[in-house]
Chains A and B, each alone.
Chain A
Amino acid sequence: MSSAPDTTRSLVRRAYAFLLRPEASVIVVSVALVVYFELANQNFLTNANVRTVSQFVAAPVIIACGEIMLLICREIDLSVGQVFALAPFIMENVSDFGVPVPLAILAALIVCALIGLAIGLITIKLGIPSFITTLGMLFLITGLTLTISRGYPANAPDIPVLTGIMGAWGYSEIVWALVIVAIMHIVLRHTRWGLHTTAIGGNIVAAAEAGIAINRIKIGNFVLTSTLGGFTGLLEAFRVGSIDPLAGGSNIMFLGVASGVIGGTAIAGGAGTIVGGLVGGIMLGVMQDGFTLQGINAFTFDIIIGAAILIAMIANIHLAKLRGGGAR
């Protein structure tokens, strides 16, 4: 089995299989972009800029982890960016009662999980498409955050070690993102939860026929997405040092969804990878930072990002066809 030519052949086969994966094209494009930006502008690969890129990348990637699970089982959460803004205010209000900050963080995450549960129950039990449920939630939570904050920003708590861990240290946010990506990759690929999420999105009749608890899994993925959204909001609040009632929003949600879809998650469900979400997020972050360094006008910038997202998605769908009917 392990003779030398066999190993070589298996390596070649693996390399070929890798190149046909949806993530591969995105990685190739990302590397090309990094090379281009470094050649065009010597400041791209400096320590300070790499840190900045990592901060651009982290938040959308964590949000993508939740959205990918939802997209795979044919749901979506449009309100995750609003939960992102709400979570730090819950933490701040709870700690104002004299509750220690770690417990206040926990309380904020529990509230986010409950919001996810509410979204899930409304969607599944009342049969409302999640697009509509979460569109309603988007406005509802914005109003809630503005009411709680009275529209004013607040200062994030400053506790020596905790603040650093939670995002103030330059690389802590990307470390969190990578840990969450690793865990969610294992959940999706190596647990029944992930397999059943994929089965539901691929053929809901077959999943039901096999006795899979469809509602439980869908609701669970809504809870997961809201909780991750809230956690990302907390990380950003600690990093920036202030809590903004208009932070996150639809922008961060779309970046999360785009990261997932660029990385190969099928909008129609049934297929997707967490690692794809990571590389999709990296590509968007590299572009965002690179074009900023180039000094490109903010208006042009949106045109470039929009076109890049479209091109990446078109490439992805056509690669899927090349692979032969796998992901639709």
Chain B
Amino acid sequence: MSAAIRAENITKTFGTITALNGVSMQVARGETLGILGDNGAGKSTLIKILTGYHQADSGQVYVDGKPVRLGSVDEARALGIECVYQDLALVNGLSIYHNMFLNREPLWGWPVRFLDHRTMRRRAAEALAEIGVQVPSVELEVGQLSGGQRQAIAVARAVTSNARILLLDEPLAAMGAREARLIIDLIDRLRARGDIAIVMIAHNYAQTLEICDRVMLIQHGEVTFESQTATTSAEELLDIVRREYRAARGV
């Protein structure tokens, strides 16, 4: 499989702190990569470089094999890279369909352009049905939905806005098992489509091993472990982290 997105030797420092020290990663379409690591290990910095929010000090990112410059969020978005953040970028007071088309609203009429609510409702319902997200009505306000449903809407919006490289920042954080199931199923269906590369940051080893095809461990800004999920286990990952803690404590 050729990589949809590939990063090589990314380094990034903030002042005297080295957030990333020569990190490489790649993920193919139809593949899900899980990135694990402690707070401050550099996971979020890596994601923010891929979304164009931060710029790497050195290293190169390739999209579909071509070297790209990710100078801003808009540039990354134009390349089909979209991130769904933990603090969901949804407006609670607006309906599901308004959120899904925010700033991309279909319009009608001349010389004054009006919102085409009907088309938005229809296309939002279609898009959600297509990826199997169930809501009672697309006219519901997002604020009335559960955390899992909101996360699903945010993912659906990214996909309908043509994201082909989907970055998920802690998609299962603060979610109960049933809610998490909703998102895990959604990620499974998106992977099955085969045209989307998914990278997710996570804390929970068991969940990550269940969802992802491949897993990567980042510690102190470096990739310390990488494996297909089929050939590793939570125990193996825990061992690596445990050794790390012991070394830090000088045991």
Contact = CB atoms under 8 A, between A and B. Distances in A.
Interface of A: 186, 190-192, 195-196, 198-199, 201-203, 205-207, 209-212, 270-271, 324-328
Nearest to B83: A209
Contacts of B107: 192
B112 interface: yes
A271 B89 contact: no
A191 B116 CA distance: 9
B94 A198 contact: yes
A213 B94 CA distance: 18
Nearest to B145: A325
A195 B115 contact: yes
6 contacts: A190-B117, A191-B114, A196-B103, A210-B89, A270-B93, A325-B144
B72 to A, nearest CB: 11
Of B74, B87, B93, most buried by chain A (CB within 10 Å of CB) is B93
Nearest to A209: B89
A190 B102 contact: no
Nearest to B141: A326
Query: Would you list the 3 A-B pairs with minimal beta carbon distance, nearest first?
Result: A202-B91, A202-B93, A206-B89
B114 A207 contact: no
B89 A203 contact: yes
Nearest to B74: A211
The contact size tier of chain B is 20 to 34
Given A195-B105, A212-B102, A325-B141, 12 more contacts: A186-B114, A192-B113, A199-B91, A202-B91, A202-B94, A205-B89, A270-B91, A270-B92, A324-B144, A325-B143, A326-B144, A328-B93
B92 A203 contact: yes
A271 B87 contact: no
Contact of A203 (B90, B113, B117): B90
Interface in B112-129: 112-115, 117
Contacts, number: 69
B98 interface: yes
B115 A192 contact: yes
Interface in B79-113: 87-94, 98, 102-105, 107, 112-113
Contacts of A195: 94, 98, 102, 105, 115
Interface string B145-178: 0000000000000000000000000000000000
Interface in B35-93: 74, 87-93
A205 B144 CA distance: 19
A207 B107 CA distance: 19
Contacts of B90: 203, 206
B140 to A, nearest CB: 10
Nearest to A204: B91
A16 B86 CA distance: 36
Contact of A207 (B91, B115, B141, B144): B91
Contacts of B92: 202-203, 270, 325
A191 B115 contact: yes
Nearest to B98: A195
Contacts of B94: 195, 198-199, 202
A271 to B, nearest CB: 5
Contacts of B115: 190-192, 195
B2 to A, nearest CB: 30
B93 A192 contact: no
Contacts of B114: 186, 190-191
Contacts of A198: 91, 93-94
Contacts of B104: 210
Contacts of B112: 191
Nearest to B154: A206
A210 B87 contact: no
A210 B113 contact: no
A199 to B, nearest CB: 5
A287 B114 CA distance: 37
Interface in B180-237: none
A279 B224 CA distance: 65
B103 A211 contact: yes
A163 B33 CA distance: 72
Given A196-B103, A210-B102, A326 B113 contact: no
B99 to A, nearest CB: 8
A205 B105 contact: no
B103 A212 contact: yes
A155 B106 CA distance: 50
Contacts of B143: 325-326, 328
Contacts of A211: 74, 103
B159 to A, nearest CB: 15
Nearest to A327: B93
A324 B74 CA distance: 36
Given A191-B113, A192-B115, A271 B93 contact: yes
A266 to B, nearest CB: 8
B93 A210 contact: no
Contacts of A191: 112-115
B75 to A, nearest CB: 13
Of B90, B113, B114, B143, most buried by chain A (CB within 10 Å of CB) is B143
A327 B93 CA distance: 6
Of A191, A210, A212, most buried by chain B (CB within 10 Å of CB) is A210
A191 B106 CA distance: 11
